Structure 1
């Protein structure tokens, strides 16, 4: 039996009308496209976790980190059940000329920018859940 929910912080990193996605290599959601992010560490704020995870996974520095929403997904298929609570944050690049690097090639096949209205498939389940909610992650002053 699982020890309880896992709390992850994921970042919708916006550049123009695109978002940064990577194709997962891990057992949960293998080969699906996901946002950068990871587990919330003890005592960490959502903003701190967002900045740390993006830096660890992509080498990018981010700013204007804001809370957007949360999803609640339970995976019962596979060897170990997983209950994932994903906290969604929005951010932008500190330097728009930064390029993402694949800092964790054992966990990700690589990062790229994708048009929000034409996302690659298949998507990681928590991202699909968030999309089904109808949330628009783009600030209204940009539209």
Structure 2
């Protein structure tokens, strides 16, 4: 607590991974309470002392079983939600990655958090999208373009 009695909060840093295959991107349907039934990228929270590349590789492996390489930061998003019962502040580092082996097939390794993974053409994304991803898409961002930090 600070002097005013308010709970001090710190931003959470997350890494979300665009895994590209041709003109498609890998998305999974979320089952967790935040964003339930929306489609989202693989990813998660950065652990203490971990590099962005290590986090991206770990999260993708834990969630999909896929191995990725050539990880490149393509966008940083600062998302603050002040209203509601659980205010939050996420700084999400969006990275683009390639499959180590192009014939890898994603597996659903966290069935309590994700219903399943599939490839979707960027111009035919499923609905509804996870709110941060939807905002990014509506801004005109494309993971197939050069980085726009």
**Structure 2: distance between partners of 1:2 and 1:132:** 32
Report the count of equivalent residues: 140
Using the alignment, how far apart are the partners of 2:81 and 2:145 within structure 1? Answer: 31
Listed as ranges, the gaps of 5+ residues in structure 2 are 1-6
Superposition deviation, residue 139 in structure 1: 5.1
- The structure with more radius of gyration: 2
The one of 93, 102, 107 equivalent to 1:96 is 102
Cα deviation code 1:71-105 (max 9, x no counterpart): 12233565322222111000111011110000100
Mark the runs of 5 or more structure 1 residues left unpaired by the alignment: none
- Superposition map of 1:69-84 within 5 A: 69-76=75-82, 79-84=85-90
Which of 11, 23, 26 aligns to 1:20? It is 26
1:111 aligned to 2:123? no
TM-score, normalised to structure 2, is 0.87
Q: How far apart, in 1, do the equivalents of 2:94 and 2:41 lie?
A: 9
Secondary structure at 1:117 match in 2: helix
